[in-house]
Amino acid sequence: MKLQRGKTRIVGLGSALVDILVHESDGFVRRIGVKKGGMTLVDMPALEKILTQVSTKPIMVPGGSACNTAVGIGRLGGRARFVGKRGNDDTGQFFQNTLVERGVEPFLMTSVLPTGRVLSIITPDAQRTMITYLGASADTQPEEITPECFTDSAVVHMEGYLLFNPDLMTASLKAAKNAGALISLDLASFTVVEQSKTILHDIIEQHVDILIANEDEALAYTGFKDEAQALARLALHVDIAVLKVGARGSFIQRADRVSRIPAQGSGTAIDTTGAGDLWASGFLYGLVNGYAHGKSGELASACGYEVCQVVGADIPADGWIRIKKKLEE
C-alpha cells in the first residue's frame, strides 16, 4: 500500500441519512422484534410505526456512517468529501448545508425519493440499535459512481452497508481504484457481515487496503473470538487491519507489526452512536498526513472517546478543542 505523494483528500462513500436518536430500554428493543446492537432495514411505514411507540422525544442530526467519518475529518481540518444521494426535499437540503458548515465538500446526487433516515435506539448501556429506511440513498445507480467522484483523493472510505447492493459496491470499488485511491472499508455491523459473506471475502482480498472492524464484526467475519487470531485473519489480505475492542482500545496490524492503542479518557459512555465512524476519522486523517500508526491510533481513540460523551455523532466545539490539543501534543 502506498499513498500518492501530495494527496491528502479523503472521500467518504455511503448513505446520506438523517439520524433520529431516542433513549429506550432493552425491553423496548425486544418488543419491536429487532436484534440489539444490529442494523435492520425497513420501509417508511414500518419506521413510522416504530416511531409512534417511542417514549422519549427524538433528536435529529445528520448521519450515515461514511458521512460521519467525512465530517470528523473536516472538523479536524482535513480535506474531506462525501459522495452519496439525498432526496430533493428540505431534509436533503439540510443535510447538504450541514456538510458545508462542517468543512466537507458535498458530492451529492438527488432522487425523487425522500432523504433516508435511521432510528438509532440508545439503551442504558450506551449501545445503539439501528432501524434504517434508506430512501434516496438506496436509489444510487452503479453508473453514477465514476472516477470523477474521487478525483485527487488519497483514500476512499466505504461503509460496509454498501455490501447490501453488490452492483453498486463493485462499481464503486472499480471507480475508486481507477482514480488511484486506496480503499478503506469499515465492516459497519455484524449483521452486514453475516448477510454478505458470499461476496465479502473476495472483495476484501481483491480490493481493500485498509480493513476496520469491531469485535462483533470481526467474530462474524473471521469466526475467531480470540483477539490475536481475529486480527491476524483480518490482516491476511489487506495492508492495514484494525480491530476495535471498545473501552479496552484497539489493535492495528500492518504486515507482522501490531500496535496496541489504549482507550482515551475515563468518562462513562453516554451513547456509542458514531464511535467507530469518528475513530476512522482520526485514524485516516493521521494516515494521509504521515503520522505513525500509533499516533494515528491515539488520535482515532480521542475522536471515538469524545463522540461517546454526547448523544449522536456530532462532537461539539469543546470536544474538538480537546482533540486538537491531543494532536498538538
| Contact present, 231 and 257 (Cβ < 8 Å) | no
Q: Which residue has the higher pLDDT, 27 or 61?
A: 27
d(CA 8, CA 10): 6
Measured CA to CA, the distance from residue 329 to residue 29 in angstroms comes to: 42
State how far the Cα of 102 lies from the Cα of 80, in Å rounded to an integer. 10
- Nine-digit cell string for 311: 448523544
| Residue 1: predicted pLDDT | 61
Q: Give the global pTM.
A: 0.89
Q: What is the pLDDT of residue 26?
A: 95
Q: What is the pLDDT of residue 123?
A: 92
pLDDT digits (tens, 9 = 90+) for 30-41: 999 999 988 898
Say if CB 238 and CB 278 are below 8 A apart: no
C-alpha neighbours within 13 Å on the C-beta side of residue 253: 20
What is the rounded (10 degree) CA torsion for 170, 68, 287, 232? -60
The 10s digit of each residue's pLDDT in 299-314 is: 999 999 999 998 878 8
pLDDT at 175: 97
Grid cell of 306 as nine digits: 469524545
Helix (H, G, I), strand (E, B) or coil at 301: helix
Q: What's the rounded Cα separation, in Å, for the pair 272 and 275?
A: 5
CATH fit for domain 10-16+64-114+137-328, picks 3.40.367.20, 3.40.630.10, 3.40.50.720, 3.40.1190.20? 3.40.1190.20
pLDDT (tens digit, 9 = 90+) per residue, 89-145?
Answer: 998 999 999 999 999 999 999 999 999 999 999 999 888 898 999 899 999 999 999
Rounded distance, CA 182 to CA 155, Å? Answer: 5
Q: Which pLDDT score, from 0 to 100, does residue 2 have?
A: 66
Q: Name the least confident of 3-7, 51-55, 289-293, 325-329.
A: 3-7
pLDDT score of 106 = 96
Element (H, E) at 252: strand 250-254
Ordered by start, the domain boundaries in the chain are: 10-16+64-114+137-328
Q: What is the 3-state secondary structure (H, E, C) of 163-209?
A: HHCHHHHHHHHHHHHHCCCEEEEECCCHHHHHHCHHHHHHHHHHHCC
Cβ atoms of 223 and 191 closer than 8 Å: no
* Confidence at 5, pLDDT banded by 50, 70, 90: low
Average pLDDT over residues 144-169: 95
Helix then strand then coil, % of the chain, to nearest 5: 45, 25, 35
